[in-house]
Amino acid sequence: MPDHQILTVSDLHLGKSDRIARRSGTLLPPYETRETLARLEDLIDRLAPAQVICLGDSFDDLDASQSLAEGDRLLLLRLQSGRDWIWIEGNHDPGPVDLGGRHLNELTLGAITFRHIAQLDTTSEVSGHYHPKCSLPRGGTRPAFLIDKARIILPAFGAYTGGLRANHPTLRNLMADDATAVLTGHKALPVPLKAIA
């Protein structure tokens, strides 16, 4: 949406290593928040959006939103300054976060609705949640956008995030037959969803 200058990202899962350490005692490299925010910073610096919409699961849980390292918190504040920042609620972060920006259940702009989990009966919607990924013959598996006339499902933006194969029945059910998967990477690669085995 060029007129609106909106940047939309989904499933940042900030603070994931913190939550895992708290819950299971496994001590993963605690750098995923820094890595995710660095990617976001890079995008924001290049695109200078007026509005940033985070489509939910921005934090791995609500505790994680409160235990961000000071450096990460400051970077986030810098990214937020001068633009409208919207936190859409996700299943991992179903409540307000104490970090600036607006907190919404979902957002409708013109005809388009931004929400965390895709709904079946919509006509124009942008969502996240499923972390779609897909692979091509002779290539690796990559996060992918799923796009049809009614909706876009975004891949996860966070560093420590797995994915759901784009040909999983749940995703095939949501997407139309002529949907396209756009693989991320060096260069965005569009592929017909139904051609993916």
Partner 1 sequence: MVALPPLFQDWFAKRGWSIHPHQQDMLDRASDPALLLIAPTGGGKTLSGFLPSLIELMDGTHTGLHTLYVSPLKALAADIKRNLRTPVDEMQLPIRIEDRTGDTSYTQKRKQRADPPHILLTTPESLALLTSYEDAPRIFKGLQRVIIDEIHALEESKRGDQLMLALSRIQALAPGLRRVGLSATVEDPKAIAHSLASHPDPCDILHADPGPDPDIDMLITNEPPPWAGGGAAYAIPAVLEEVKKHQTTLIFHNTRAQAEIFFHNLWLANDDDLPIGIHHGALSREQREGVESAMVRGDLSAIVCTGSLDLGIDWGDVDLVIQIGAPKNVKRLVQRIGRANHRYNAPSKALMVPANRFEVVECVAALQAVKDHDLDGDPKGAGPRDVLCQHILIRACAGPFTADDLYREVTSVGAYSNLSRAAFDDCLDFCATGGYALRAYDKWKRLLERDGMWQLRDPRASRNIRMNIGTIQDTDTLKVKYKNTFKSLGEIEEGFAATLTPGDTFLIGGKIVRYDGLREMTVQVTKDAAKKPKIATFMGTKFATSTQLQARILRKLQQDTWPELPDHTAEWLDLQRKFSKMPEADRVLVESFAHDTRPHTVFYGFAGRNAMQTLGLLLTQRMEEFGHGPLGFVATDYATMVWSVDPVTDPAPLFDVTGLRDGFEHWLSGNAVMKKTFRGSANIAGLIERNSPQARKSGRQATFSSDILYDTLTKYDPDHLLLKITKEEALRGLVDFGRIEEMLTRTKGRVDHIKLGRVSPLAAPLMLEVGRIAVHGEGRETLMEREAEKLMELSGLNKIDAQPAKPNWRVGW
Residues near partner 1 (CB under 8 A) are: 17-18, 21-22, 24-32, 34-35, 39, 42-43, 46-47, 67, 69, 136-139, 145, 147, 149, 159-162, 178, 180, 182-192, 194-195, 197
- Please identify, using beta-carbon distances, which residue of 72 and 84 lies nearer to partner 1: 72
> What is the spatial distance between Cα 147 and Cα 144, in angstroms, rounded to a whole number?
10
Helix 32-47 and helix 70-80, axial crossing angle in degrees, nearest 10: 20
At 83, the amino acid letter reads R
- Smallest gap, in angstroms, from Cβ of residue 190 to partner 1? 7
By beta-carbon proximity to partner 1, the closer residue of 15 and 101 is 15
Nearest residue (CB) to partner 1, 47 versus 109: 47
Shortest Å distance, C-beta 45 to partner 1: 11
Measured from the CB of residue 10, what is the shortest distance to partner 1 in angstroms? 12
Q: How far apart are CA 66 and CA 89, in angstroms?
A: 16
Residue closer to partner 1 by CB (options 50, 102) is 50
Please state the closest distance from residue 112 (CB atom) to partner 1, in A.
14
- C-alpha separations of 43 from 19, 40, 56 in Å: 26, 5, 18
Q: Which is nearer to partner 1, 103 or 167 (CB)?
A: 167
Q: Output the smallest distance, CB 111 to partner 1, in A.
A: 16
Phi and psi at residue 42, in whole multiples of 5°? -60, -45
R_g of the chain, CA atoms, integer Å: 17
Phi, psi of 126 (to 5 degrees): -125, 125
In order of 17, 57, 78, 95, 101, the CA distances from 21 in angstroms are: 6, 18, 28, 22, 28
